[in-house]
Amino acid sequence: MPEKTVTVNRKARHEYHVIEAYEAGMELKGTEVKSLRAGKANLQDSYARVENGELLLYNMHISPYDQGNRFNHDPKRARRLLMHKQEIMRLLGKVREKGFSLIPLRVYFKNGRAKVELALARGKKLYDRREDMAERDARREMERARKEGGRY
C-alpha cells in the first residue's frame, strides 16, 4: 500500500540543514485521524522534544473534524510520538548537542497508520539561506537556457 502524504513542512528545508530523518508513529484521538485523512493539518512552527523519556510533538495544528461535535480535540495539543526507547534516547543525546532541533518534515499514512517524518536538524544562518537561493536561481537559469537550446 503506497504512502499518502497529508502535509509537508516546506519551510523546514529552507530554515534548517537536515542531518538525519526518522519515522515515528503518532498517538491520535479518533476525530484527529479523520481530520488528517481529509488533509486538514499544518506543520508550520511545529517541533518535537524529548520529555520524561517520551517524544512529544508541539504546535502541529490538526483542524477539528466537521462532524466531530463534542468529541473534537484541541487543535494544537501536544501529541506523543511513538519510537523505540533506544531511538528516543539517541535523539535526546543528539539534541543536547549545541544547535540541534527535532523538526517534523511531513505527515503521511503508511499501511493505514499516521506517521510523521522527523528530522534532526541544525538551523541555517542567513548567509546559508542566501547561498541556497543563489544556487537554486543558477540551476533555474541553466535549465531555462538548456530548454531554449542556446538561442540568444
What integer pLDDT is reported at residue 73 of this predicted model? 79
pLDDT in tens, 53-93: 899 999 998 888 887 777 777 888 889 999 999 999 988 88
Task: Please tell me the distance from the alpha carbon of residue 121 to that of residue 113, in angstroms, as a whole number.
Answer: 25
Domains, the chain, ordered by start: 4-123 (2.40.280.10)
What integer pLDDT is reported at residue 15 of this predicted model? 82
- 25 within 8 A of 113, measured Cβ to Cβ: yes
C-alpha atoms less than 13 angstroms from C-alpha of 36 in its C-beta half-sphere: 26
Q: Which three-class secondary structure state does DSSP give residue 104?
A: strand
- 64 within 8 A of 73, measured Cβ to Cβ: yes
pLDDT in tens, 38-56: 888 888 889 999 989 899 9
